[in-house]
Amino acid sequence: MGKLGKSGENQHMINSKAQSDNLYYGEIRSGIVEIVAEISESHKRVLEIGCGNGITLEAIKQNGAEYVCGLELREDVAELARSRVAIDEVLCRNVEQISKIGRASCRERVS
């Protein structure tokens, strides 16, 4: 065992995982925001598959999308996205198990 001891090593691993998750789930995808902003439709509805903590969806909504919905595999991360006021809806689902996604509410069409 190193200088940290077993509990210190465990805490270090937990902190490293949290930092890694924050980078993966919390980084804005500015290219996507820019592409959606260029779309001239007046009633933009966006579904982001793998929305992470929702930071990209929030930016898309602030740039004029009428409705934004996120799909996230991890419930703990989906809950972070749900806490963002600008996001209309976040579902915790595996995209491979979705049979259909339509034009109505994300919740109405995702089974």
For residue 45, the SS3 value is strand
Q: What pLDDT is attached to residue 14?
A: 47
How are the residues of the chain apportioned to helix, strand and coil, as percentages rounded to the nearest 5?
50, 15, 40
pTM for this structure?
A: 0.69
Tens digits of residue pLDDT in 36-87: 888 888 788 999 999 999 999 999 999 989 999 999 999 999 999 999 989 9
pLDDT computed for residue 90 by the predictor: 94
The region, left, alpha or beta by phi > 0 then psi within -120 to 50, assigned to residue 50 is left
Percent of the chain with pLDDT over 90: 41
